[in-house]
Amino acid sequence: MPAHPRKDEFAEARAAMVESQLRPQGISDPLVLEAMAAVPRERFVPEESLPLAYSDRAVNLGGGRFLMPPAALGVLLQALEPTPGERALVVGAGSGYAAEVLRSMGVQAIEGEVRSTGKGKSGFHLILVDGALEEVPDSLVAQLAIGGRLATAIIDRGVTRLVVGTRSAGGFGLRSIGDAAVPPLPGLERRQAFVF
């Protein structure tokens, strides 16, 4: 892509992203494909990163924040199985892109931070963590309604795994749905235990 792409080049890059990044990863949900084909990723990256807006890797937004790779986001969205009208909380990078994709799918999405969710609203049908964590905080799970789904990337012994989980009356569990290169969210590292 040229240093300063034209508008029609972005539309071509968006279509290529769907065909060469999303579909090969098994993403077939029409809502996910249509939303990611419609929402202009280039609006959510700094000008100096415009040529990278549709690359299949994380895009640096500055300040330790990144835009998740398209395929990783698509896999997480498909695993969440969003339904129009559901309420979603997007926490993490604060780029606005993931929330806009969910809104394009008919979901009522708002953005928040992991640190502030303990005092936030509860009863979300969906929570999407826009970045990788070492563990999912209990305060975040508490924001889910019973039957609500959460998707994120978990750093597990140096490997970043895409995971999805559902909250039930009896608890919350995660299942792995693949591996991906998703940058960690800054400031949310697990505290190290005392070591001799």
Q: Residue ranges of the alpha helices (H) in 115-169?
A: 138-141
Residue 37: inside a domain: yes
Residue 54's pLDDT is: 94
Residue 160 in any domain: the answer is: yes
Query: What sign has the CA pseudo-torsion 182, 142, 62, 5?
Result: positive
Handedness of CA 131, 132, 137, 142 (dihedral sign): positive
Coil, helix or strand at residue 177: strand
pLDDT at 89: 95
Tally of domains in the chain: 1
Q: Is residue 52 part of a domain?
A: yes
Residue 196 lies in a domain: no
Considering the domain boundaries, does residue 135 fall inside one?
yes
Q: What is the pLDDT of residue 118?
A: 45
* 187 in a structural domain: no
Q: Which domain holds residue 26?
A: 7-179
Q: Domain of 123: which CATH number?
A: 3.40.50.150
Average pLDDT, consecutive stretches of 10 residues, N- to C-terminus, the chain (196 residues)? 66 94 95 96 91 92 88 96 95 86 96 62 90 92 94 92 94 92 74 54
How many Å apart are CA 43 and CA 40, to the nearest integer? Answer: 6
Residue 194 located in a structural domain = no
Residue 186 lies in a domain: no
